[in-house]
Amino acid sequence: MTTLKNDRFLRALLREPVDTTPVWMMRQAGRYLPEYRETRAKAGDFLSLCKNTEFACEVTLQPLRRYDLDAAILFSDILTVPDALGLGLYFEAGEGPKFHKTIRTEQDVAKLPKFNAKSDLDYVMNAVSTIRSALNGQVPLIGFSGSPWTLATYMVEGGSSKDFRHTKQMLYATPEVLHALLDQLADCVTEYLNAQIDAGAQAIQIFDSWGGALAHREYLEFSLKYMQKIVSGLQREKDGRKIPVILFTKGGGQWLEPMIATGADAFGLDWTTPLNVARKTVAGRAALQGNLDPATLYGSAASIEKSVKLMLDDAYANAEKTGYIANLGHGITQWVDPANPKIFIDTVHEYSARYLG
């Protein structure tokens, strides 16, 4: 078993002492990097990039060659599970992901095929094991999935949506159908994440990208309930190490208190929730991750540095010395100058020393 040279990300997730604040970026392997664009061009399209083990490993490692990151995250897509369930994922230029089939009725849910993560998504497991080997203990590897609610929105709408009309119609008109779909997805995601852990993932993040579109009670019933089911079914230790779990609901900072009951180790925050308030809310019961506005990276070096320092001041305002991972509040965008993430990352490491020394 390869010794992990840098484990501060895992230590912070478990609220253990760290020498400096760990940092990584959601969507850190992405279109803002010219080397990523070159590899994607070789692959031909996004899905081919995901399904080619060599290319998926290469783009996962690219940001680690540029930046002093404390974690790598598997290069894949949150929609691999619905694709494996036969919905026919494809991408249209400028329009994002779409599905050939949608799930709108009780019969549609009943017709979904049986799911086997290791065989149906073997290309993901091959990527995880290959990346883990290539990292050679440099930093931990994060595996991930979309949340059941988020996956369901794409499956019901047939792609991205601004108002989730069909999904919310199902929620309010035929909630039993949506619950049946979410329950099945929770089982699939649990199996999928456990397979990633078996393949070598050392931490797990569940992306609830659209949980913030729900009303308060509906979030608890249709999103958080199913993430809790997943967390309770996950393998939480491998090779003598704990496997931390992060839940990230974009637009969900107001639900931190009920989130804690899920048993997850950490919660991601977008830029709308003040970190000092969130730290008071969790009161040492969980770690927090986030919450720099990705658009901050469009700014000057001085403005990026200022924003990062203010974020760290908030994170450590309550004199807690661990339990915090710096990150963006959502994925880095394709228009960011590749020089700017370095300012963010280096400022996190350098400035946090005043709080952790």
Phi, then psi, of 23 in degrees rounded to 5: -150, 140
154 catalytically annotated: yes
Average pLDDT (273-282) is: 97
Q: Which of 104, 109, 220 is nearest to 168 (CA)?
A: 104
**Residue with more model confidence, 280 or 93:** 280
- The mean pLDDT of 306-323, rounded to a whole number, is 96
CA–CA separation, 245 vs 267, rounded Å? 9
- The residue-averaged pLDDT of 10-37 equals 97
What is the 3-state secondary structure of 10-37?
HHHHCCCCCCCCCECCCCCCCCCCHHHH
Averaged pLDDT for residues 247-271: 98
Q: What is the predicted pLDDT for the residue at 146?
A: 98
Give me the pLDDT at residue 50, please.
96
The Cα 206–Cα 224 span in angstroms is: 11
Q: Is 77 assigned a catalytic role?
A: yes
The CATH architecture that domain 8-356 belongs to is Alpha-Beta Barrel (3.20)
Per-residue pLDDT of 89-137, as tens digits, reads: 998 777 789 999 999 999 999 999 999 999 999 999 999 999 999 999 9
The catalytic position among 8, 15, 40, 104 is: 40
Q: Across residues 208-235, what is the average pLDDT? A: 98
Catalytic residue among 32, 36, 67, 154: 154
- The contacts of residue 285 (CB under 8 Å, 6+ apart) are 260
Closest CA relative to residue 132, chosen from 202, 189, 229: 202
The residue to which tokens 């190490």 are assigned: 241
For residue range 36-74, list pLDDT tens digits in order. 999 999 999 999 999 999 999 999 999 999 999 999 999
Can you tell me the distance from the alpha carbon of 142 to that of 127, in angstroms, rounded to the nearest whole number?
A: 12
Q: How far is CA 127 from CA 37, 57, 132, in A?
A: 19, 6, 8
Q: How confident is the model at residue 1 (pLDDT cuts 50, 70, 90)?
A: low
Residue 96, exposed/middle/buried by CB under 10 A (0-12, 13-18, 19+)? Answer: exposed
Starting from the edge strand earliest in sequence, which strands make up the sheet with 203-208, in order? Answer: 72-73, 141-146, 203-208, 245-249, 266-268, 287-289, 324-325
Q: What is the pLDDT of residue 236?
A: 96
Residue count of the chain: 357
* pLDDT value of position 354: 94
| Active-site position among 37, 66, 77, 346 | 77
Token reading at 138: 């440099």
Catalytic residue among 31, 37, 236, 241: 31
Residue 27 a catalytic site member: yes
- Please report, for residues 143, 144, 202, 241, the alpha-carbon distance to residue 196 in angstroms, rounded to integers and kept in the order given: 6, 8, 9, 15
Average pLDDT over the chain, rounded to an integer: 97
* 273-278 average pLDDT score: 97
Average pLDDT over residues 193-210: 98
The CA distance from 266 to 78, in Å, is 19
Instruction: Read off the pLDDT of each residue in 143-147 and give the average, rounded to a whole number.
Output: 98
Is the pTM here over 0.85, yes or no?
yes
User: What percent of the chain has a predicted confidence (pLDDT) above 90?
Assistant: 97
pLDDT for 79 beyond 90? yes
As annotated, the binding site for substrate includes: 27-31, 77, 154, 209, 330
> Structure tokens of 259?
């989130």
Rounded CA-CA distance 53/318 in Å is: 44
Please determine, for residue 161, whether its predicted confidence score (pLDDT) is greater than 80: yes
Tell me which residue of 145, 143, 139, 128 sits closest to 22, measured CA to CA: 139
Q: How far, in Å, CA of 153 to CA of 97, rounded?
A: 12
